[in-house]
Structure 1
Amino acid sequence: MNDVLVLDKQQTRAGLDPLRVLDAVAVALVALSRGEVSAPPRIAAQAPGGLLGAMPAYVPGIGLAAKLVSVFATPGQVGRSSHRGLVALFDEHDGRVQALLDAEPLTAVRTAASATQSMRALRPQPSRVAVIGTGVQAAAQLAMLAALDASMPVVVGGRDGTRAAELAARHPKAETASIEDAVRDADVVFCCTGATEPVFPRAWLRPDAHVSSVGGSHGHELDPAVLADGALFAEWPGAVTAPPPAGAYELQGIDPARVTLLGAVLDGAHPGRGGRGGLTVFKSTGHGALDVAAAAVVHDWARAHGIGTAVAM
């Protein structure tokens, strides 16, 4: 037996320093683009109200982990879903279980980190950013943007004006607007919804906007015209070639040659926007390598501060 460090939701959240997760996720994305990550496509068991996914991954120099996560629609709230589960972190050398973490805050923060890296790589220094959505993922995205640059103007757009206002109040420079006004005025649009159909039409976007879509676990979040017009980026090749839930609904049937891995841009192997104008689109499916990166950040923090409960297993 060995002692396993168990962290509850509050402890896991406390260890998710946004900037450290941002850096760790960049390393994982680059490793993905270089083909250095060992991870099978996500598998899932389907239940009437949602799915239970399994996501193991090994990232050299970061660690070995596996996530079990359920994605279920929120009853009575159209377009909302929950992500609940756990992440098990293992020693990459001898296979011992090192820690068990709460998957919900970890997933939200690592997803926001991946989306933010797409902005940094493809549309740096925007004059105005829109966050579309008012749930857990939108809140994580707003917090990540505040940690990166609290002076960056942000507008929150959502169907529920009250929830949008409550979310915007968490950011020193955030305002609220309708989804249409938020999208039309933004250089960068973060789509953070549980939508099963496109949230807005292509016509609302600026010609040179960057769109980051992290929602759509149950269907399409983006207008097909956005995909048709944009230069496309993803975290891993299977976002295009694997069927959902591993791949993205929006990318099914698209020529894989059209999709560039975000890590290749971060690594300097691909020019990204490269000084050219035009629409860029990052479609996130999530990936086990990102969970490994975030889990390692939390584990290092917990050990350094003596946080968590040691359980013999």
Structure 2
Amino acid sequence: MPLTVLSSNEVSRVLHSFTKEDIEHLQTQLADALHWYSTSADENDYCSDYQPERIQLKRKDGSTTLFMPASGTTGQAVKVLNMGPPATGSGLPSLENLSLDTDSSRSSISGTTAVESPRGSISTFASSETGQTGGGSGSSTSSVPGNGTAVSPGYGLDKTTSPSTRDATATTIRGSLTLMDHEGNTTGLINATELTAFRTALASTMLLKKRHSVHDLTVFGAGKQAYWHIRLALLLRGPEIHHLNIITRNFDSARKCIMRVYNPQPEDADYVNPIGSKYNSKTKANILTPSHTEYQRLVKDYVRSSNVIFCCTPSTQPLFPASYLTNPEGRKKGRYVACVGSYAPHMIELHPDILRNAVAPHHEHRHLHKRQKEGGAVIVDTVSGCLKEAGEVVQAKLLPDQVVELGELFMLKREAMRKQEERGEKVESGCNFQEGTGLKEWLTRGNVIYKSVGLGLMDVVVGHGVVEMAVQRGMGTRIEDFD
């Protein structure tokens, strides 16, 4: 039995070769697996009865090791991840305790030309050289590819820590995924660092595909999770995304994230980016860090104007106040909010009040203000996992009947398609649900919150898909007689 080995660089090459059609094909396979997982029937190896719970070990040095076994129709898999201790002050500073009006929080900019932004809240900077450093003390400038807008050149609130030191102390995730067939033969060994971020984004963006509007996209964080959410969003809905707002502590990491989106394989002269060239992109990129003097106002503006919000930080406190989304002004627009950065009960990205508001019963005729539809539930990848490990769900004290698995939505979709076929109606692809239930309106236009803590089942599906693509495209190392 041959074994395919994919290193970190080889995994990156395979993933960056995926086109929109490849992503949609993988999402279809993942949707089928999640559907079978949520049915709780023993018809195949995707069902929940064949998915062991993951084991989490907390070590004395503060690091965490995860063991994630899983089973599927193509075989079994075991992923082992080691997560280093989170850096001090990981995530973003609390807006309630943040004061940015002092002189020490202001960043000077030299060597740039400032042009008033048409949105009126930020300045657009044009620099002749990326990463150019001005002559003044503490001065810095960095240009953003494409129609980029540099909101702040700072590196966060902590002015005593250099960027290199902060990068060295940031949380690191390393590990591998081992794939086996049903007979126990090892068929794949994959570096899991990039793959984990990719498969998480693959699931999150399944709900993005059918959203009515994705005009404004806001992302908290600039790591691998944030990168793959941005990349897949641009692959799937790129021409419709006009504003990309990245909110993070480190300006340089956000700049590199955007540059990588448009040039992920700089060492390969023959590489063709499926997203296209940055010069032809309609998406305007904005970067915001806490050192900006109007950080609080801009965070509120970005959150309120967003159609889609991706939270990708290991934060231990809410990224923004609940009132941004729960007061009458915040409820006027329907948003899709995906939280994937927190993976333990003490971690939290969304304020619990936002989740409580999402699941609370709403009586539309009692409201005098315009508001978008609420679904009465929070969507999760796994109910059992999120009730125990998702900080937002745990701290909001949600009950099992207030969360719904992503696979259950696909189950409802298939049921609606079956009834359409029985009535002799034309069955269209996409988000088709029973009329009158309000489910389609909620998923496409309403306020939708998706929370993910990760599921080993995703690794089985995506891992086998990546190995299959690698073999077809002649990538990776192949050992013919491993067994």
- Given candidates 204, 208, 214, the residue that maps to 2:340 is 214
5-14 or 174-183, which deviates more: 174-183
**1:54 aligned onto 2:67:** yes
TM-superposed CA distance for 1:300, in Å, is 0.5
- Given candidates 251, 258, 270, the residue that maps to 2:393 is 251
TM-superposed CA distance for 1:217, in Å, is 2.3
TM-superposed CA distance for 1:293, in Å, is 1.3
**Which residue in the other structure is 2:177 paired with?**
87
TM-score by length of 2: 0.59
- Are the equivalent residues in 1 in contact too, given 2:316–2:348 (CA < 8 A)? yes
- Given candidates 139, 143, 159, the residue that maps to 2:227 is 139
Matches for 1:159-308 after TM superposition, within 5 Å: 159-169=249-259, 170=261, 172=281, 173-178=283-288, 179-205=299-325, 206-207=330-331, 208-218=334-344, 219-230=347-358, 231-241=377-387, 243-244=388-389, 248-252=390-394, 253-267=397-411, 268=413, 273-276=439-442, 278-308=446-476
**Which residue in the other structure is 1:78 paired with?**
90
- Are the equivalent residues in 1 in contact too, given 2:82–2:175 (CA < 8 A)? yes
TM-superposed CA distance for 1:87, in Å, is 0.4
How many residue pairs match? The answer is 305
- The RMSD of aligned alpha carbons is 2.4
Which amino acid in structure 1 is aligned with residue 13 of structure 2? A
- Give, in whole Å, the separation in 2 of the partners of 1:88 and 1:139: 24
**1:45 aligned onto 2:45:** no
- Give, in whole Å, the separation in 2 of the partners of 1:273 and 1:255: 20
| Alignment CA distance shift 1:136-1:77 (3 Å) | farther
- State the Cα deviation string for residues 221-255 of structure 1 (Å, max 9, x = none): 211111111230101121344x33xxx12222311
TM-score by length of 1: 0.88
SS at match of 2:81: strand
SS at match of 1:239: helix
TM-superposed CA distance for 1:85, in Å, is 0.3
Structure with more of its chain in strand, by fraction: 1
TM-superposed CA distance for 1:278, in Å, is 4.8
**Which residue in the other structure is 1:29 paired with?**
34
TM-superposed CA distance for 1:63, in Å, is 3.5
TM-superposed CA distance for 1:187, in Å, is 1.3
SS at match of 1:81: coil
- Are the equivalent residues in 2 in contact too, given 1:180–1:204 (CA < 8 A)? yes
158-167 or 221-230, which deviates more: 158-167
- Give, in whole Å, the separation in 1 of the partners of 2:256 and 2:191: 25
- Give, in whole Å, the separation in 2 of the partners of 1:49 and 1:138: 24
- Give, in whole Å, the separation in 2 of the partners of 1:56 and 1:257: 27
Q: 5+ residue gaps in structure 2?
A: 41-46, 92-169, 263-280, 289-298, 359-376, 416-432
Which structure's CA Rg is the greater one? 2
123-132 or 257-266, which deviates more: 123-132
Task: Tell me: higher relative CO, structure 1 or 2? Use CA pairs within 8 A at least 6 residues apart.
Answer: 1
- Give, in whole Å, the separation in 2 of the partners of 1:284 and 1:174: 28
Which amino acid in structure 1 is aligned with residue 305 of structure 2? D
**Which residue in the other structure is 2:11 paired with?**
12
- Give, in whole Å, the separation in 2 of the partners of 1:303 and 1:77: 42
- Are the equivalent residues in 2 in contact too, given 1:126–1:187 (CA < 8 A)? yes
203-212 or 49-58, which deviates more: 203-212
- State the Cα deviation string for residues 29-71 of structure 1 (Å, max 9, x = none): 22222222421121111113221101111123x4421111112
- Are the equivalent residues in 1 in contact too, given 2:69–2:77 (CA < 8 A)? yes
**1:96 aligned onto 2:185:** yes
SS at match of 2:317: coil
- Are the equivalent residues in 2 in contact too, given 1:31–1:59 (CA < 8 A)? no
- Are the equivalent residues in 2 in contact too, given 1:67–1:103 (CA < 8 A)? yes
Which amino acid in structure 1 is aligned with residue 476 of structure 2? G
SS at match of 1:32: helix
SS at match of 1:117: coil
